[in-house]
Amino acid sequence: MFQTSMRTHTCGQLRLENAGSRVVLAGWIRKIRDFGNIVFIDLRDSYGITQLVFEGENLKLASNLEEEFVIQVEGVVRERENKNPKLSTGDIEVVVEKLNLLSRAHAPVKPYDTTSEETNLKWRFVMLRHEDKQQIFKFISDLMFETRNFLHNKGFKEIITPFLTKSTPEGARDFIVPSRLHRGKFYALPQSPQLFKQILMMSGFDRYFQIVKCFRDEDFRANRQPEFTQIDIEMSFVKRGDVMSLAEELVKYLFEKLLNIEFSQFTVLTYKEAIEDYGSDKPDLRAEDITVVHLDNVKGGCGFRIFESANHLSATFIPVKLSRKESQNLEKELEENFCKAAVVPFSDGNFSGPIGKNTSSEFQELVIKELSLPSEATVIFVANDAATTLIGDIRNWLIRKFNLAKKRFAPAWIIDFPLFEWDEEEKRFVSVHHPFTDFEEPADGKLEHATSLAYDMVINGEEVGGGSIRISSPEKQQRVFELLKISPEEAEEKFGFLLRALKSGAPPHGGIAFGLERLAMIMLGLDNIRDVIAFPKTTSGMCPLTDAPSPVSERQLVELGISLKGQH
């Protein structure tokens, strides 16, 4: 353990064999217990907690101390009478003989406070002192170290790519940065190092990786933030199976090294199988027996008008029979979080309520058969334009809400995605992943029907990583641009540097990127990505700690050649 001149040991270091030793400790006061003739103080630092004892003539040293004061103490280690098995230092205590008050605390909140999110984030530096938070970020530090260790041993080179780059909006919105030296022009913060890592392969670097910050100006959810960290990987002279094998090996290594958990195998599902069986391209497979059924082909004539008139109808279930009140409460929750849904108890072959009374026996028998319903269950029906995919999100949510998982982790690969999907609003095809994804030539020769060489890694209903084999032919890349209605002039303007690199001789290459925070969140069993980010933003994109985003001075705007038309 690295030592400094201000302490001989950390607060997590002392053991029974240190009894009788004179030590110097420094840290924050976590808790004070004053019994009049003796005072106990829990002293905390990043490494642990040590109990301090103030007694006899040194009792006065503890007067006027408060929680979160920073102190330095000198004393003698002795064995505790009442040991604390919950602490690594629980067999000993330090009898204090000298005390030096290093800093007083005037913060209005304690590190164990659970007030509003905004208050907690404003005083984040206090909240981060909590032992649970310290352990989270120690884990993430270990995660990054072991990732680098694994990839270095596999021959990968860590190469830094630019943060100030060109805006190439094709998907999420860019964060843009105005240029002072080139007025009227803007940099963009990278959504990923995608094009740079491809160019590195064309530059002759066989294996690249980077643990890198990425930025996307998108709406926030529990598992998203405007800035996030990727474990970014790219390899030359590979096929899809090579990249998937390497990525799977990395994840197995991390789970075994950090959690002592061994994955025997990853489930592999095609995109079509995932949607048909689970209603999602990121299914939670911890409860594989809970499936979905799509009822578009049989809803006509089922006898229930709402179902018959819907564009799409899908259903899933939980192996729990809910009461009428519980079903109504679940319907309210689903409407708040997803959409309107019908929650229907099922028992002994019969559905309850209006759906049980008004739908045909043939329809009911099909639902029972397709979902493999147990003797008692609750079925959730969704009837709307997005029912096909909403039902998958609802299924994943129900597994977590009702603790239906039969295993702690369930890793899977999703492959064979469509290369394109139709955007009804823009009236054009868009890339399912990104426009640099390679593909299998469609049998009918129509590019819009192509299957991509992309792959997503999913764990517990969360996408933790995604990648693809990249297009390495300029002619093939141009075909994709044409279908996406990107003209040769626009392609040259946005991606000219990539096209020049492709024309210079490009190796077959591919890669994958993992969301570091999302991976850590899943490994630690947490529900919100903000828990694994030291200084996260709120759901509205604010940073209460620094009050960002904030106005800038008129002078700065003048230097940048920017004028504000209005405030929103």
How confident is the model over 218-277, as pLDDT tens digits? 876 656 789 999 999 999 999 999 999 999 999 999 999 999 999 988 999 999 999 999
Per-residue pLDDT averaged across 58-78, rounded?
A: 96
**Residue 496 pairs with which residues in a beta bridge?**
none
Architecture of domain 132-266+413-555: 2-Layer Sandwich (3.30)
pLDDT score, position 96: 98
Q: Is the distance from CB of 183 to CB of 561 less than 8 angstroms? A: yes
Phi, psi of 21 (to 5 degrees): -80, 145
pLDDT score, position 314: 96
pTM for the model stands at: 0.91
Intervals of CATH 2.40.50.140 along the chain: 16-103
pLDDT score, position 146: 98
pLDDT score, position 398: 97
pLDDT tens profile 138-175:
999 999 999 999 999 999 999 999 999 998 765 678 99
3 state SS for 39-75: EEEEEEECCEEEEEEEEHHHHHHHCCCCCCCEEEEEE
Q: Is the distance from CB of 350 to CB of 382 less than 8 angstroms? A: no
Alpha-carbon gap, residue 184 to 192, rounded angstroms: 24
- 109 or 565: whose pLDDT is higher? 565
pLDDT tens profile 324-370:
899 999 999 999 999 999 999 999 899 998 999 999 999 999 999 99
pLDDT tens profile 7-54:
999 999 999 999 999 999 999 999 999 999 999 999 999 999 999 999
Q: Is the distance from CB of 454 to CB of 414 less than 8 angstroms? A: no
Handedness of CA 101, 102, 106, 108 (dihedral sign): negative
pLDDT over 70, % of the chain: 96
3 state SS for 500-521: HHHHCCCCCEEEEEEEHHHHHH
- 126 or 292: whose pLDDT is higher? 292
Per-residue pLDDT averaged across 94-104, rounded?
A: 97
Alpha-carbon gap, residue 246 to 146, rounded angstroms: 15
Out of 289-298, 390-399, 427-436, 447-456, least confident range? 427-436
pLDDT score, position 281: 96
pLDDT score, position 393: 96
pLDDT tens profile 510-559:
999 999 999 999 999 998 899 999 999 988 889 999 999 999 999 999 99
pLDDT score, position 117: 80
Residue 227: HSE in the Cβ half-sphere, 13 Å Cα cutoff: 12
pLDDT score, position 541: 87
Out of 40-44, 375-379, 413-417, 493-497, least confident range? 493-497
Write out the two tokens for 402: 């009702």
Architecture of domain 286-402: 2-Layer Sandwich (3.30)
Per-residue pLDDT averaged across 123-127, rounded?
A: 89
Neighbours of 482 (CB within 10 A): 13
16-103 maps to which CATH number?
A: 2.40.50.140
Intervals of CATH 3.30.930.10 along the chain: 132-266+413-555
Residues 6+ apart with CB under 8 A from 353: 344, 345
Intervals of CATH 3.30.1360.30 along the chain: 286-402
Alpha-carbon gap, residue 330 to 342, rounded angstroms: 9
Q: Across all residues in the chain, what is the average pLDDT?
A: 93
pLDDT score, position 107: 65
- Identity of residue 561: G
Residue with tokens 């096929």: 239
Residue 426 has pLDDT above 90, yes or no: no
pLDDT score, position 423: 85
